[in-house]
Amino acid sequence: MANMKFKKLKKGYCMINQKKSFLFYLLIVFIFTINVEAKSKLPNKLRVCSDPNNLPFSHKDKSGFENKIAELIAKDLKLELEYIWSPQKVGFIRNTLKTWVEEKGRYKCDLIISVPEKLSITSNTKPYYRSTYAFIFKENAKLKGIKTPQDLIDLDEEKKANLKIAVFSRTAAVDWLMKYNLFYEAKTTTIKARAEDSKVNHQDRLKMLLNNKFDVVFVWGPIAGHFSKIHPKDNLKVIPLASEDFIKFDYAISMGMRKDNKKWKKIIQNSIDKNKEQIQKVLINYKVPLLSNSLHKRAFKKASGRLPTCEIK
């Protein structure tokens, strides 16, 4: 008799535990669903993750071309534009786009205006421009008549020996200079890709490099193009570089966002498509070297033993 009572009590206890477990499971599912919905809802503002001192791309005074493009998108979507400023260095995406702010019930920001097309840690739009690395120099007696990369390679030995070249480390330009012996034949100096002082931007560095310290600087094309625009009296020339086998200079640029909101991505893509011409005008105004679509393919092969000229839109 006592044994039967014990079995009944045990069975009842198990049923209560099962009910508690099921209710707890439902609670977890409910919380998770609310959390997912909160994190995937559409933003009520266009919050852009941006560097406060990264001209010609972005600046806290909103003078960069990414700022101008963000304004076009915000106007089209009828959303207030807001920036979350953070230096674009290691951890930039983690500390901005992917940081959830619990007390506000949203992420810090929802869009990065420029990311490489194939960046894997973000969900990216179709590319809205393609640019390339270039070299920039003051046209003087030493470099008169340089119109293509091949012209630089073909300089006579005496001029090469006295040529002072600056190139950012860990870029394809280093490989290119080595391939054509300019790295050793000229006085070439490698410099860090980013200044240690966050107050010094690309334009500041380029100004210092070209202030009679170096004759030629190899740099990402949009930086060189805009620098030549804001210094019209310096007689600066920008020569785009064409990709070759195993040396890639050109990159397609997209807008990046988190992977958890496909609807938001579609909205941004539609806005880019709608404002394509206006975006192109902004890029052209900032003298960003824009590659034609034909150069998206392997169009940079040698012809007759000489390097091709990089066609620009």
Return the structure tokens found at 214.
Answer: 């170096």
pTM as predicted: 0.82
Identify the CATH assignment for 130-240 out of 3.50.50.60, 3.40.50.40, 3.40.190.10, 3.40.640.10.
3.40.190.10
Tell me the pairing of strands 100-101 and 187-191. Answer: unpaired
Q: How far apart are CA 148 and CA 33, in angstroms?
A: 58
Q: Which stretches of the chain score pLDDT less than 50?
A: 22-38, 295-309
Do 198 and 53 form a contact (C-beta atoms < 8 A)?
yes
Which pLDDT belongs to residue 302? Answer: 43
Count of C-beta atoms within a 10 Å radius of residue 44: 9
Identify the CATH assignment for 46-129+252-292 out of 3.40.190.10, 3.40.50.10860, 3.60.40.10, 3.90.850.10.
3.40.190.10
Burial (Cβ within 10 Å: 0-12, 13-18, ≥19) of residue 58: buried
Q: How far apart are CA 83 and CA 111, in angstroms?
A: 10
Count of C-beta atoms within a 10 Å radius of residue 165: 23
Enumerate the domain spans of the chain: 46-129+252-292, 130-240
Which pLDDT belongs to residue 107? Answer: 97
The string of pLDDT tens digits covering residues 137-191 is 998 888 989 999 999 999 999 999 999 999 998 999 999 999 999 999 999 998 8
SS3 assignment, position 28: helix
Which pLDDT belongs to residue 269? Answer: 98
Which pLDDT belongs to residue 25? Answer: 47
Buried b / exposed e across 60-96, counting CB within 10 Å, b at 16+?
eeeebbbbbbbbbbbebbebebebbebebeeeebeeb
Which pLDDT belongs to residue 34? Answer: 40
Residue type, 73: I
